[in-house]
Amino acid sequence: MERKKEMISVIIVACSDWGDYATPYIDSILKYKPDADIVLVDNRSKNPYLSNPKYNLITTNYSGEYQYTKLLNMGAESAKGDWLIFSNDDVLCIDDFSFFEDYDKNAIYGAELRSKTAQNFGVDVDYLYGWNLVMHRDVFNDLGGFNEKFTHAGLDDIDICYRAKKKGYELVEVIPYPFIHLGDKMKRHRRALVKNYAKMQSRSKNIFLREVENDG
């Protein structure tokens, strides 16, 4: 029996305060996959994105601390796809990514597999760098989505990959990868928050280690 074709959704969290990264990214996606379901989550941008037939726009007025994971989960709720690609906006698509439809759904896929060791992190953990993560919706639902205790300081990628491995899912580095990370937004973001960044990273690390301890 021929396998049912599954839809792919790309969920992009945008903040135009750092520049319009989303528009060229969306155009690059549609160049290679015109039928892609694109969800753009715009959280209180000073120059908000406007409705466009190219994507499903979610404009939020979430007034709490900026929380990337909450916005990703909101995007997933609106996405139509069976496969979910969670992405920063400072990214470009450089090739067709339809092949993910045929991948084993019992895994999470990304561009770069990394490791943290107990010596410098408190626990040994492998993870996929979180600027672009691909997983089937069944996996996302089984994991309960992204942990909203984590903020823009990161470790959300480490947390979800840790929980995925605990449940028996693989972490797979895909080479070559059909997306590239420009990285400009993160560099500017870190410079703007340089006084608080180390403190926020430390807080996120402590949250993660408590989650690991509570998980037993």
pLDDT greater than 80 at residue 51: yes
Q: Is the pTM of this model over 0.85?
A: yes
Structure tokens at 144: 């309960």
- Residue 167 identity: K
For the chain, what is the mean pLDDT? 86
Q: 61-69: which pairs have CB atoms within 8 A and are 24 or more residues apart?
A: 65/151, 66/15, 66/151, 66/152, 67/148, 67/150, 67/151, 67/152, 68/13, 68/150, 68/151, 68/152, 68/156, 69/145, 69/146, 69/147, 69/148, 69/149, 69/150, 69/151, 69/156
CB 100 within 8 A of CB 174: no
Backbone torsions φ then ψ of 58, nearest 5 degrees: -115, 115
Of 39-53, 114-128, 151-165, 189-203, least confident by mean pLDDT is: 189-203
DSSP conformation letters of 144-206: TSS-TT--TTS-HHHHHHHHHHHTT-EEEE-SS-SEEE--HHHHHHHHHTHHHHHHHHHHHHH
In this prediction, residue 46 carries a pLDDT of 72
Higher pLDDT, 190 or 100: 100
Task: Inform me whether the pLDDT recorded for 119 exceeds 80.
Answer: no
Task: Kindly state the percentage of the chain with pLDDT values over 90.
Answer: 54
pLDDT at 2 over 60: no
Per-residue pLDDT band at 114 (split at 50, 70, 90):
very high
> What's the pLDDT tens digit per position in 78-102?
999 999 999 998 899 999 999 999 9
Q: Could you read off the pLDDT of 129-164 as tens digits, one per residue?
A: 999 999 999 999 999 999 988 876 578 999 999 999
Closest residue by Cα to residue 161 from 173, 178, 177, 152: 173
In tens, the pLDDT along 161-172 reads: 999 999 999 999
pLDDT of residue 184: 60
**All domains of the chain, ordered by start, with CATH?**
8-215 (3.90.550.10)
Predicted pLDDT of residue 1: 47
What percentage of the chain has pLDDT greater than the value 70? 86
Q: Tell me, what's the pLDDT at 17?
A: 65
